[in-house]
Structure 1
Amino acid sequence: MNDAESADRQRIDWQSEKSGFEEQIFTARQALANGEEAEKQAGSLLESLEMQQGQTELWLKLSELIGSATGSKFRNLAQSLTLQQLVLAANVHLQDLAPRYALQTVPGSPLALQVVDHDMGDEVRSVESLSGGESFLASLALALALASLAADSRLLGSLFIDEGFGTLDPDSLEMALACLDTLQADGRQIGVISHVGTLVERIGTQVAVESLGGGVSQVRIREARMIDSTVK
């Protein structure tokens, strides 16, 4: 084989190797492109998975917090949140009615109440330890707070109290009446339904229901000085 033939042979071998290298490069580039596309898809899937995991965790937390077959968890949560708002509003009224006390929910029992006695170094007490008059003032504060929540931003100018005075001792009754006098002086219209004589004497304008017998009654509007034993 002469030099020319050897050179041609070598050129053919190089061209064959070149073609092989080019094919390998093409294959590698194709694999790289496929890898980059797969990486993009994997990133998109990972992002979607993380989003789904976040939503799943949210639903799991909600299920743990309020999920139950009977709906009791959600009901208790809603009631506890409402009670917290009610207690905050009631404490505002207690600052005027009975500044010695403040209401709070019982830790671990969010639907139960207890009182903080400021005069006793902020001692926490059961609501059952309150006297009759103190219980009345606490209940009145809660009633005013409930009216405030129900009325939103509007002021309810009327308050009607049905009984509850017959079980009060004289001191507690006087405390309750003084509280009602204060509310009336602040511009609220107070309506009281009661058979307690001491309370009747303190009410200025009265709506008296009088029995006429035979299942018949009449309603009369009277001033306190006109009230007699016929008022029921």
Structure 2
Amino acid sequence: MTPPQKTPTQDVGEFDHRATRRDFVFGELHRSDLLADPVLQLEQWLNAAKEAGNFDATAMCLSTATKEGRPSARYVLLKHLDTRGLCFYTDSRSRKGQELAENPFAALTFYWPEMDRQVRVTGRIERLPDADNEAYFNQRPIKSRIAAVASHQSQPIESRAALEERFKAVETEFPEQNVPRNPAWGGYRLMPDEWEFWQGRRSRLHDRFVYTPEGEGWQVQRLMP
């Protein structure tokens, strides 16, 4: 006997959040508020998010895709940025590392709910040089360095106990804490070709401004929400 087909609204129950909403009341964004350089604008908003109490203000959602266009997303931490782009570090053997190897275009998204603000950045990815990788790796806490060596990121493992055994093995092998960086671990830079700054507003009439390249600088355009 064929089981009855469910209608789209069946079994939604307590997970139905269509009535969940809030208004965005923190502030507003005008063209005159924006700096000409989006890097400086991002720095300004990052500092404001930290001052507002966001402990993870540098957390950003990194979206990548396979060469066939199948996307995946996860949060990473912005470690430094300059006029060349935004930098983060990870294991190149991870899912994101493999996807970036075959499709070097990505997107980064920041969201700071304390301020009703969002920033989106898209562009091409490049690997950072080994000198940068070594410098940052060696300034990380020792246990973070051990974990980076012990973990073959994104690969299956039979148990938590097995993972902790790998950690202990690396810790034992390098008692003087001179843990060498695995060449697979390193940094990436997203070189922006578009920025969008979003400020939540009442009645969903949000403020959105997009930066796109123009000559040696950037053109700024308001977008409808």
- Which category of TM-score, normalised to the shorter sequence, fits these structures? under 0.3
The structure with the greater share of residues assigned to strand is: 2
Which one scores higher on RCO, CA 8 angstroms, separation ≥ 6?
2
Pair member with larger Rg? 1
Of Structure 1 and Structure 2, which has the larger fraction of its residues in helix? 1
